[in-house]
Structure 1
Amino acid sequence: MRVADDPARPALRPLLRLAGPVVLSRLGIMAMGVVDTVVVGRYSAEELGYHAIGWAPTGVVLTTALGLLYGIQVMTSQAIGDGRAEETGVILRRGVAYAFQVGVAAALVLVLLGGPALHLVGLEPALADGATPVLQALALSLVPILVADAGLFWLEAHGRAVPGMVAMWAANLVNLGLNLWLVPGNSGFPVAGAVASAWSTGLSRLVLMVLIWVVIARWAEARRFGVFDKTAPDPQAAAAQRAVGYGTAGSYFIESAAFGAMSIFAGWLGTLAVATWAIVLNVAAVIFMVPLGLAAATAVMVGRAHGARSPAGVRRAAGLGFGVTVAVLLAICLGVGLGNEALAAAYTSEPTVRGAAAAALLLSCLFYVGDGLQAVGAQALRARGDVWMPTATHFASYLFVMMPLGWALALPLGLGLMGLVWAVIVASALSALLLWGRFWWLGRGALV
């Protein structure tokens, strides 16, 4: 077993060995969007608007759909811990079929209804018309990215995160090359700008899917685990696997909707606030990939210990994830705090925006640790079978606390953008406290 020789006694080194490539893989997901934004932005500010609007709904759908697939990783980890590794191929087969169905359904809805919806929400007709083909091209690529991620989650649960990381960054190189070639419109491709970038992303996702499945096909153990064997349907097991994903998808959707509302509040504050808030969110999103990777690694180890029926192993795995997350994010906070002005200058040369962004980035350091801990805590709880409490916690923290508090602090109380940042600080701290309190309560003891 590559991640831990004894799932009942998790150790720091196996956690770090898995977390490193998983973090890099998650950063690879973020890097693809950053490349698209930079290349399109340098081509045309107008096209960048089309790109941003086209990405918005597909991004929410993709994030929610990925949550639906989280049962693959949890169920695989638990089966390995319980000594049933030979059954994990069935879990992957169910997950891939589910990923395909979700991808097709989401793509059809976005392709058919996405354009009209952009007009209905009150966008300028020219902006909605320009964003529609971008949205449709990105929607068509939902199937390959979801099928790819199903395989990626399964490999990570088996401790084979490095091949997935390599495949992700190879797809990023393909995306960069296609963007540089197609976006300027000199390649003979029938479209340019944001639409060309969307097709570049789609082709890159297709490459990623092929690479992930080549990795699985070439792994001899995959055949022993029954990945390519037909099995009789098991509706009960399939329902249990989907149930894990429902809770995760709910949490992802709630967070996406809440932060979307915060962006609207920033819009009510004016152009300066919108630009500054976009910088704060972009930096936070990149940083969040680190605890997201740590959350996946922690969940694998917690799931294995849970499958091995070792309460002490569950507590220790969660405690290791907690400690590493705090240490890593404190170091990141120090870096952002010391380099906040340089970060702001990298995003904009406009003095007013740069100054406001530098101040907001400094304050945002206060929510990185809480935001990271809530992500790790939620996944650790799901890995031990507590599926819906993290969703309820996110609902309370982000919808009932962050949104109204952000509105009140930013607008009636006049704190402006800093009020939005303070709302995120409070909501993240509350969510982390509730989730880790829940974990402690279930274990009735120390985390380590």
Structure 2
Amino acid sequence: MDRPAAQAPFLAGGREHPVRRDLARLLKLSGPVVVARLGVMAMGLTDAVIVGRYSATQLGYHALAWAPTSVVITMGMGLLTGVQVMTARVIGEGRRDLTGAVLRRGLAYGLWIGVVSAVFLFFAGPPFLHAVGLPKDLADGASPVLRIFCLSFPGFTLSVAAASWLEGLSKPGPAAWIMWGANAVNLAVDLILVPGGFGLPALGAMGGAWATTLARSFLAVATLAYIGLMPQARALGVFRKPERDRAAEAEQRRIGFGAGASNFFEVASFASLNIIAGWMGGLAVAAWTIVLNVAAIVFMVPLGLATGAAVLVGRAYGARDGPGVHRAGAVAFTVTAAFGVAATLGVWPNAALIGGGYTRNAATLAMAAPALALATLMFLPDALQVVAAQALRARGDVWLPSGTHLTSYILVMMPLAWFLAIPMRLGIIGISWAVIAASFVSAGLLLARFWSLSRNAL
């Protein structure tokens, strides 16, 4: 993979040591993305905490409604990964004027994803909840909450396309701060609608769903407005209808299909864990929701690092710099591993304290605290697997991560979680063990693949 001489100044970075340079770029890119991804989770966390402190039963409704919508949302984010990767690639190729075409394709694609998935899940979601063996009261309570969440899909997918484009441009900061503005909207509406306020009735979990819907709509409008007002928007081709480039369109979709399949396998399998917890009762659902929510918040940091890794690897790949691809991956994996260890050491001794922030119910907390302490063992491998998967996609290896996630989460985690939780009677402790096992399998396979490709390219 020989790089053209024209790319040498960009790749050499002057006299700066290449590892230090890549580390600085990774942290500069990843920092705002981590802030934005934490904002995504903070919205769900805010809903869970306010609904959970209002009622453990309502938290169960919220969790069961969130499970199928999270599959669609996360798969949509994966389908739009091509926006970020292709933007980074064309910049690495020195063709910044084509980034607007990438954005326009992403927005059209995102709108279709949002609308179609909203209509599908609005009608199919409630029957699904009733068909999977949940107690009728849980399915009845979660169904209207699920339908409200569906209304938020188009706004969310449009905002993802726009934010991914900014990240590919190495401008992740504005999207991050807009996300936290959306969180302020979400919090304000939560505090009014969940417990009832200003003369309005208490809506519980439905109030949390309405808050998320309004916040996501704000997020889309604000992010698109920022892009439209950028001084360089015209130079980047944002307002210019591009000529058809079927090869670029197909590559953008191909990257998205691979990432979307991976996200579907991973998130669908995690959503199924809520169903398994639901078979053990409403309090088990609430307890597992606490464990999964904390793990998901921790996961936002490596998800941000994955974005930084994808941009660095994608630019080096676009410039045909094999050593640069290898180096960017190595730097990203090292930083990710350090974070995974730190997160484990931070959460493990404080599991009971963290769980107490979600619920006042003693029975729920008694289940959640030990499961959360155990689940910290997944932080390191789970962080590494998402960064490795995104680095592979950025270098053109789209489908291997999808196969790895199918193997790890569908074929290993789901049946193992059921076996340990139900026949072996380990409850949500058994679910935690299954997640740990799947995370190690996924991380091992993906890292091995990246190093194998790197050896061949050097």
Measure, in 1, the Cα distance between the counterparts of 2:146 and 2:431.
Answer: 29
State the alpha-carbon separation in 2 of the partners of residues 274 and 208 from structure 1. 30
Q: Counterparts of 1:221 and 1:75 in 2: how far apart (Å)?
A: 19
- CA shift at 1:434, angstroms? 0.7
Alignment deviations for residues 181-239 of structure 1 (CA, whole Å, 9 cap, x no partner) = 33344446698433333222222111111211122122222211101111223333212
Distance 1:141 1:411, change over 3 A: closer
1:377 aligns with 2:401: no
- After TM superposition, the structure 1 = structure 2 runs for residues 207-218 of structure 1, keeping only pairs within 5 Å, are 207-218=218-229
Corresponding residue to 2:119 among 108, 129, 136: 108
1:12 corresponds to 2:23: yes
Secondary structure class of the residue paired with 1:103: helix
Name the aligned partner's letter for residue 338 of structure 1: P
Letter in structure 2 aligned against 1:161: P
Q: Does 1:259 align with 2:263?
A: no
2:346 aligns to what? 335
User: What is residue 41 of structure 1 aligned with on the other side?
Assistant: 52
Once the 2 structures are TM-superposed, how far is the Cα of residue 13 of structure 1 from its aligned partner? Answer: 0.9
Residue 171 of structure 1 corresponds to: 182
Change (3 A) 1:354 1:107: closer
1:8-157 alignment, distance < 5 Å: 9=18, 11-123=22-134, 127-157=138-168
Distance 1:181 1:408 in 2: 42
Q: Tell me what 2:5 maps to.
A: none
Aligned counterpart, 1:305? 316
For 2:429 and 2:64, locate their aligned partners in 1 and report how far apart those are by CA, in whole Å. 25
Q: In 2, distance between residues paired with 1:233 and 1:34? A: 42
Instruction: Say which is worse superposed, 254-263 or 123-132, in terms of deviation.
Output: 123-132
Q: CA deviation at 1:445?
A: 6.9
Gaps of 5+ in 2: 1-7, 13-17
**Equivalent position amino acid for 1:342 in 2:** L
SS of equivalent to 1:221: coil
1:39 to partner: Cα distance:
2.5
Correspondence for 1:201: 212
Aligned-pair CA distance for 1:352? 5.3
Instruction: Give the Cα–Cα distance (whole angstroms) in 2 for the partners of residues 18 and 203 of structure 1.
Output: 28
SS at match of 1:444: helix
Alignment CA distance shift 1:424-1:186 (3 Å): closer
Letter in 1 for 2:335: V
On the 8 A contact 1:7/1:301 being kept in 2, the answer is no
Measure how far apart 1:359 and its partner are.
Answer: 2.8
Q: Does 1:357 align with 2:330?
A: no
**In structure 2, do the counterparts of structure 1 residues 102 and 328 end up closer, same or farther at CA, with 3 Å as the change threshold?**
same
Structural mapping, 1:180-199, within 5 Å = 180-187=191-198, 192-199=203-210
Q: Any conservation in 1 of the 2:67–2:274 contact (CA below 8 Å)?
A: no
* CA deviations over 1:348-367 (Å, ceiling 9, x no partner): 44555544433333322221
User: Is 1:314–2:325 an aligned residue pair?
Assistant: yes
CA contact (8 A) 1:7 1:81 kept: no
Deviates more, 1:14-23 or 1:197-206: 197-206
Letter paired with 1:295 = A
Aligned residue for 2:10, secondary structure, equals coil
Alignment CA distance shift 1:336-1:426 (3 Å): same
CA shift for structure 1 position 269: 5.1
Change (3 A) 1:189 1:72: farther
Q: Deviations over 1:373-415 (max 9, x none)?
A: 0000000000000000000011111122222333344444555
Deviates more, 1:134-143 or 1:349-358: 349-358
Instruction: Give the deviation of 1:256 after TM superposition.
Output: 1.7
Whole-angstrom distance in 1 between the partners of 2:190 and 2:49: 10
Residue 333 of structure 1 deviates from its aligned partner by 1.1
Q: Give the Cα separation in 2 of the matches to 1:209 and 1:5.
A: 37
Bigger mean CA offset, 148-157 vs 206-215: 206-215
C-alpha contact (below 8 Å) 1:280/1:361 kept by paired residues: yes
- Asked if 1 retains the 8 angstrom alpha-carbon contact of 2:63 and 2:274, the reply is no
The answer for the alignment partner of 1:435 in structure 2 is 446
| Structure 1 position 430, deviation (Å) | 1.4
Q: What TM-score results when the alignment is normalised by the length of structure 1?
A: 0.91
Maintained 8 Å contact 2:52/2:358 = no
Alpha-carbon spacing, 1:110–1:266, altered in 2? closer, same or farther (3 Å) = closer
* TM-aligned CA distance change 1:194 to 1:357, over 3 Å: closer
Residue 4 of structure 2 corresponds to which residue in structure 1?
none
Give the structure 2 partner of residue 248 of structure 1: 259
Distance in 2, Cα, partners of 1:82 & 1:121: 49
Question: Gaps (5+ residues) in structure 1?
Answer: none
Which stretch of the first structure deviates more once superposed, 136-145 or 81-90? Answer: 136-145
Residues 274 and 288 in structure 2, CA contact (< 8 A), matched pair in contact too = yes
Query: Equivalent residue for 2:3?
Result: none
Cα pair 2:133 2:279 within 8 Å, conserved:
no
Taking only the aligned residue pairs, the percentage that are identical comes to 51
Q: How many residues align?
A: 444
- Quote the RMSD (CA, aligned, Å): 2.5
Q: Does 1:422 find its partner at 2:433?
A: yes
Amino acid at match of 1:361: L
C-alpha distance in structure 2 between counterparts of 1:47 and 1:355, whole Å: 19
